[in-house]
Each structure stands twice: as structure tokens, then as C-alpha cells.
Structure 1
């Protein structure tokens, strides 16, 4: 996509360090990006990111790879899945093809190469989600304590 962000900067001109050598010198620098003018304004071409693998976790999915995400998992999982050359989806609830209503699908199966159904124990084990609660602090003054 073309964006006005970065026009006239080293982002567009190239030369930003991508990799350093053992001595700390720049071994690989960013290339110059294409700049075009639309309606009198300049825009820089930002190319998409492609990854070798994408790993996503869906609340529901079918064996064809159609996926439904819960809550905030819908924010970036579909985009991450679309960026992968090979996408592997962990599915908490595996359904038969046709059981998902087409309007509820957040990511079509064309972007998913592997579907891994989780066991009940695996589906409920969400180690990244940690509930932390601290004891109420007493004796404070001011505010709504």
C-alpha cells in the first residue's frame, strides 16, 4: 500500500540498518522504496510482510480451516494467518464443515494449511492469560479508597 508516512525520510530513501556484522558495521541496509505522487502528494510504497509460518489459535473452526476468533483474538490473528506461507491453526472447538454460519467466519480456510484440534485440557490452558489480584491497600488518604 502507499502511505504518506515516511516520505522524505530515511525510511523512503533507504540506508537504515537491517543487519550488523561482527565488528558492528552495517552489513545489510534497507533499500530505497518506491515513491509515487497522487493528487499532488507523495506516497511511499510499504510492502506486505510474509512469514514462513503463522501460528494462530481460534475458538472454533472446521476441518477446512474456516476459523472464528473470540474477543480481542480477532484483532490480529486473521492478519497474522494471512501473512504466513504456511498457517497452522490451533482450534479449541473443531466443528464439521458447514456447521459454521458463513457470516460468523473471521478467516476463510483458504489461508489455513493445517488445523490442530486441541483437547479440552489444552483448550482451557491459556498460560498467557494470568489473573493478577493484589490485596486492597488500607490506610491510604485521599481519593476513593
Structure 2
């Protein structure tokens, strides 16, 4: 059995909108972004996650989000797990997987029960870019 990652179906740019230390090396964060699904479906993405610092410039996180198409008529939700590492340049790079769910029968219907893998790059100001790919 062979698995491969498809071309990105979701590309976004956004920023961390808030962060709060909640103790025990954990930080609660919220984010917001704009992006495109399948190259032409404009969406917004909002969510939150709890990040755990593991020392050695490594992190892990668990969170959730909601993607809404620009006209507001369709939504999809997802939960995710991610791990992060800071590069030698001091930039965090995060990798993870997301499980998607939607009741949509329109443009976002393809997301229902999808498992995706993503990579996020974050700058020093909390701005990020991300790409999601489906496992096929």
C-alpha cells in the first residue's frame, strides 16, 4: 500500500491574534487568517489551540478551527495536532494533521471526513503562512 500527499488544497496567510500563559508551560492562542481552498474558494479561518513548550525549542499543540467561505453560507470545522521546532534562523516551523468535518453539500463538501497534513511557518510578529495537503 502506498500513500502520497496531494498538491495543497488549502493555502492561507494570517496571524496569531492573542496569546495567554495558562501555566505549566502551556499557552492558549487564537488565530485568524484568509486563504483559498482548491485555488479559487475564498475563505476565512479562525480558531484556537493550546501550545505546550517541551524545551529544546520544541512545542506540541492541540486545537480546533472553523473555515467559512466569504459569503458566509458554508462552514467546515476541524481539529488538529501539531509539533513545532525553531529553526537555526529562529523561526518556528509547525507540522501537523487535521481532521475535517462539514454538513456542507456545496463548495466545502469535499472536506467532510478528510484527513490533511499541514506545514506552518511563523515570523517574529506572529504572522504565519500555511499549506494543507490531503493524504491519498
Same fold (TM over 0.5): no
Give TM-score, length-normalised by structure 1. Answer: 0.20
Which structure would you say has the larger RCO, counting Cα contacts within 8 Å and 6 or more residues apart? Answer: 2
State the structure with more CA Rg: 1
Higher helix share: 1
Give TM-score, length-normalised by structure 2. Answer: 0.21
